Amino acid sequence: MKRMQTAYGLANWDFAAFVAFYPNSLPAYREHTATNGKPIRMFHGTADDYNPVVPCREYVARAAKAEK
């Protein structure tokens, strides 16, 4: 997310890609679908009952729609 890059990244650096392992996609933050256009790879188990996969799939769909 662009807001995370702004908050925690170096001013003149940009990430080439992002990898998330069992991300928590339940909260929706302001501008949460704004990305830098780099690839995002999420690894998630469908049997995970702590961080369910359905909200992550919904986030991916919202982010993809926002990029168009």
Return the domain boundaries, the chain. 2-67
Q: What is the pLDDT of residue 42?
A: 86
List all residues 6 or more positions away from 62 whose beta carbon is below 8 Å from its beta carbon: 33
Strand partners, 20: 42
Q: What is the pLDDT of residue 1?
A: 66
Burial of 25 (0-12, 13-18, 19+ CB in 10 A): buried
Instruction: Output the tens digit of pLDDT for each of the chain's 68 residues.
Output: 677 677 777 767 777 888 888 887 666 677 777 777 788 888 888 787 788 888 888 888 888 887 76
